[in-house]
């Protein structure tokens, strides 16, 4: 083993990059509550990022409970970029009754790790 550098002591500190998770959550809802609507009625779904940043990629994902399979089934997604206030929105008009949930997934950026929101549950009746 050959060491070609001059003798010395390594610095006591080194720069380390730490990525922090960006928060993402649905606006105006809590984990214990479920929204209620009827088939054919439009509802506005809004998620907020923290810290707020424009043009951050967010996927709003919808899942429906399949009573035959007794499992949650992916029902589609809507990709959005956040506005200057760090918010993304979509309008959803359910076409069939059932139990649904939305989840927001924020992408990783150069400064922040991605993250997944708590679910936003919906009960859709006739």
Q: How confident is the model at residue 2 (pLDDT cuts 50, 70, 90)?
A: low
**What pTM value is reported for the model?**
0.79
Task: Report how far apart, in Å, the C-alpha atoms of 105 and of each of 41, 74, 95 are.
Answer: 25, 14, 24
Nearest in space to 19 (alpha carbons), one of 115, 121, 88: 115
Task: Give dist(CA 36, CA 63) in Å, integer.
Answer: 15
pLDDT tens digits along 16-54: 777 788 999 999 876 677 889 999 999 999 999 999 889
pLDDT tens digits along 86-114: 999 999 999 999 999 999 999 888 888 89
Is pLDDT at 58 greater than 90 in this prediction?
A: yes
Helix (H) or strand (E) holding 122: strand 120-125
Q: Which residues pair with 23 in a beta bridge?
A: 50
Query: How many Cβ atoms are within 10 Å of 14's Cβ, its own excluded?
Result: 6
């Amino acid at each position: 083993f050959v060491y070609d550098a001059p003798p010395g002591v390594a610095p006591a500190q080194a720069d380390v990059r730490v990525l922090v998770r960006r928060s993402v959550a649905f606006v105006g809802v809590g984990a214990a509550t479920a929204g209620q609507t009827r088939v054919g009625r439009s509802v506005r779904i809004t998620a907020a990022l923290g810290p707020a940043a424009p043009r951050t990629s967010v996927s709003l994902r919808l899942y429906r409970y399949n009573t035959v399979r007794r499992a949650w089934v992916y029902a589609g997604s809507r990709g959005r970029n956040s506005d200057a206030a760090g918010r993304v929105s979509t309008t959803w008009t359910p076409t069939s009754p059932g139990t649904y949930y939305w989840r927001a997934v924020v992408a990783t950026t150069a400064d922040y790790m991605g993250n997944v929101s708590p679910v936003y549950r919906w009960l859709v009746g006739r």
